[in-house]
Amino acid sequence: MTDDPTIAAVFATMNRAQTALSCVEALAAQTRPPALVVVADNVSTDDTVARLNALTKLPFALVVHTMLENGGNAGGVSDAMELAFDRGADAVWILDDDSWPRPDALAAMLAKPLDPDVVRHPLQIDPHTGRFTWPLQARGADGQWMLIEHAEDLPDGDFVPTRINWTGALVTRKVRETIGPVNAGLFIRGEDEEYPWRIEQAGFTQEAATLAIMEHPGPQNIRQWHFAGKSLFFEQGLSDWKLYYKIRNMVWLKRRQSGGFGALTMAAAYAAAAVRFDGIHRLPLVREAVSDGWYDRLGKWNKHPA
């Protein structure tokens, strides 16, 4: 890895013109901007593509990649990531269209030489609450993993060992060449768990650059509860299609991580949570999602809204 690596930022979007523009503008405001930004547009029907293509005087090359069909976040990021590496990126910075790094975020992430075996990421802060967008798994001075919700609770240091992070991950070329592309079949709400797991399984590590901040609104109506000795999170009131992908993909992934028993335990946990927090009317959806995850029926759901 060179002292001045070529960085590409990538994200997927669909029918969110102003949100996508805000993300590109946040990247343009970086004190150390990326060399390339690739936006995968999932067949927007609004003016997203036109407004992105109209941007001028950017400190990087902007490529708006129009998908042939809606591939979800997983499909869009997979395409954008491959395009970025094909164009010579040493590392790809994975974002969401509603994640906005503060001006010195990338510079802080590159304050020490980039290690090809380490996936570095900023801290994600929910601008509405001041807490982490999602609780962060960080390793303390005693070597134990902690679940942290506030930046002030982090261990000391500009770079802190972490695990299982997706949005904001700076994936090096070596990591991509070792573990392969993002699994586009997960569509949404699964790639954020599966790709970091593959990173870890391959022996790579992650670390948070604690001086790098990225604002990213967190989920609403999140409920934390305990099932079978584990701490779980459930988003109350999700739309059917979002809940379907979350359950399907987690059952599919859990079967690969810990076999059939683990997958069935995960399915039971989501069924119990759906009934507890949303009501018994959710059970047919849960049943379909569990079945599709168990039998490897990935891709876009046949009931996905147009």
Q: What is the mean pLDDT of residues 219-227?
A: 76
Q: What is the mean pLDDT of residues 199-206?
A: 98
Other C-beta atoms closer than 10 Å to the C-beta of 276 total: 14
Residue 1's pLDDT is what? 66
Residue 3's pLDDT is what? 78
Cβ-Cβ contacts under 8 Å for 4 (sequence gap 6 or more): none
Residue 72's pLDDT is what? 97
Residue 226's pLDDT is what? 72
pLDDT band at 222; cut points 50, 70, 90: confident
pLDDT at residue 228 is higher than 90: no
Mind listing the pLDDT tens digit for each residue in 127-177? Answer: 999 999 999 999 988 889 999 999 999 999 999 999 999 999 999 999 999
pLDDT at residue 232 is higher than 90: no
Residue 84's pLDDT is what? 98
Query: Distance between CA 277 and CA 133 in Å, rounded?
Result: 21
Burial readout 58-83 (b: 16 or more C-beta within 10 A, e: otherwise): eebebbbbebeebbbbbbbbbbbbbb
Backbone φ and ψ for 187, nearest 5 degrees, come out as 65, -75
Mind listing the pLDDT tens digit for each residue in 57-74? Answer: 999 999 999 999 999 999
pLDDT at residue 271 is higher than 70: yes
Q: What is the pTM of this model?
A: 0.94
Which structure tokens are listed for 283?
């059970």
The domain spans of the chain are 7-215, 223-294
Average pLDDT, the chain: 94
pLDDT at residue 102 is higher than 90: yes
pLDDT at residue 292 is higher than 90: yes
pLDDT at residue 15 is higher than 70: yes
pLDDT at residue 233 is higher than 80: no
pLDDT band at 249; cut points 50, 70, 90: very high
Residue 18's pLDDT is what? 97
Instruction: Please choose, from the candidates 48, 57, 1, 8, the residue with its C-alpha nearest in 3D space to the C-alpha of residue 169.
Output: 8
Give 7-215's CATH code, choosing from 2.40.37.10, 3.90.550.10, 3.30.300.30, 3.10.20.30. 3.90.550.10
Query: Distance between CA 178 and CA 280 in Å, rounded?
Result: 43
Residue 225's pLDDT is what? 73
